[in-house]
Amino acid sequence: MKKLWTKAGVLSSASIAFCSMLWSQKNSLYELKLVQVLFRHGARTPLKSIPDVLEAQWVPTLLEPPAHTHINYVVTDLNGGPRPAAPVEDSYRRNTLTGGTYPGQLTTVGMQQLYELGKRLRRKYIEEIPFLSPTFSPAEVYVRSTNIVRTIESAKCLIAGLFQQKQKDIVHILTTEAESEILYPNYHGCKLLKIVGSHRWAESSTLPDIAADLQSIQEALGIAAHQNVDFILIRDDMVARETHGLPCPSVLSTWRNKVEQRAVDMICHVFEPSKRENLQLCVGLLLHTLLTNFEEKLQGTSSESNRKLLLYSAHDTTLMPCLMALGIFDKTWPPYAADITLELYQHRQTSEAFVKLSYIGQDQLIPGCSGVYCPLREFKQALSAYTLSSDTYQSLCNSTGGVTEP
């Protein structure tokens, strides 16, 4: 597994700046054709609280939306019909955190984070180069979200920042039912992923080093042995508290780096990036979709010929396997509002296509690419081991090969 992390050819800041400077000097020869942004939602309430420790007060005033994030929007299914049922969101609302709010809800801090991401995109694609219209246009911008309130609201806030609340048309945020979602590893809709994922999740806390550290931190925090906790749960609550300035158990400060390390160790075990099939099942269909969007734009076969920006509001568990498949995961948990941005360029004379990918605003050199501006053919080859068409994905999901649930 170590090879996977070290092979990621992340250039130094100076090298990337130099490459970008050289490119900018000749960018009159290159036309920006399409931008796709895959981003994590903003800061939220924790999914679960660490048991048996000092509780934070997650009060409703932490969720108040800033006035500048308001836009006129509607949530629909992929065909413009009513929003589908949301079983994941319903599961959050069966529980209440201390203070009176639900788990997993976007906070005021999170709303502002996505508004700021929208402003960053505005600076780049409206102010620095006139790529997008300064007012929201559904012909230019496609907005897609998982069917969970925090990602829907994150998309809304990004749009508010990007267009400064200027819109002639209502913003349609498209989503789909849980069984067919491609914007996260779909344990609901992929039978094989559910089985394999259940095994890997069950194993992740029992790995010797992780289990020993977990026992130590439980004892240090005074968490009863029978409580069902793991490092991902502890990290989730810890980071949520820190982000919102809420009190943490003092002992956690000495454990902070270990909690981060072990949470990443757990998620790496779950996604098991050394096995191609696991990442295929997690994000193969999403990666295929991103590449198809590029191809359709170049070939002029898209049903929306004027589309310039595609936004995908998703989760940390979306970004991590994508970063692993790209070979650029640095074993650091993606922060709230982290983004993977993919730009498609075309040479005005030769028509050759290039892709430039950035993560949290930093250009990345993808292993297998000859430069930061990666020829599309090289980019497709770099991802070819992980992309899956819909038919292949469904076939793989249904081929359980005698594997049974734990």
The answer on 286 and 264 residing in a single domain is: no
Last residue of one domain, picked from the residues 256, 271, 286: 271
Of the given ranges (23-27, 69-73, 393-397), which has the lowest mean pLDDT? 23-27
Q: What residue type is assigned to position 397 of the chain?
A: C
Last residue of one domain, picked from the residues 271, 303, 320: 271
User: What are the Cα distances from residue 269, in Å, to 148, 178, 199, 237, 265?
Assistant: 26, 24, 10, 21, 6
In a domain, residue 327? The reply is yes
pLDDT for residue 195: 94
Last residue of one domain, picked from the residues 248, 271, 294: 271
The answer on 201 and 143 residing in a single domain is: no
User: Of the residues 41, 244, 269, 315, which is catalytic?
Assistant: 41
pLDDT for residue 114: 98
Q: How many structural domains does the chain have? A: 2
The answer on 365 and 328 residing in a single domain is: yes
Catalytic residue check, 269: no
The tokens of 185 are what? 């590893």
Catalytic residue check, 199: no
Domain span at 72: 29-189+274-398
pLDDT for residue 216: 96
The tokens of 294 are what? 């590029």
pLDDT for residue 274: 84
At 218-269, the pLDDT tens digits run 999 999 989 999 999 999 999 999 999 999 999 999 999 999 999 999 999 9
Q: pTM value? A: 0.92
The answer on 248 and 369 residing in a single domain is: no
Question: Percentage of the chain surpassing pLDDT 70?
Answer: 92
Name which of 197, 278, 196, 266 is nearest 235 in CA terms. Answer: 266
The answer on 257 and 359 residing in a single domain is: no
pLDDT for residue 379: 98
**Taking 70 as the threshold, does the pLDDT of residue 125 lie above it?**
yes
In a domain, residue 7? The reply is no
The answer on 385 and 339 residing in a single domain is: yes
User: Of the residues 52, 77, 265, 316, which is catalytic?
Assistant: 316
Are the beta carbons of 231 and 259 closer than 8 angstroms? yes
The answer on 303 and 258 residing in a single domain is: no
**Taking 50 as the threshold, does the pLDDT of residue 210 lie above it?**
yes
The answer on 106 and 61 residing in a single domain is: yes
Are the beta carbons of 86 and 102 closer than 8 angstroms? no
The answer on 240 and 164 residing in a single domain is: no
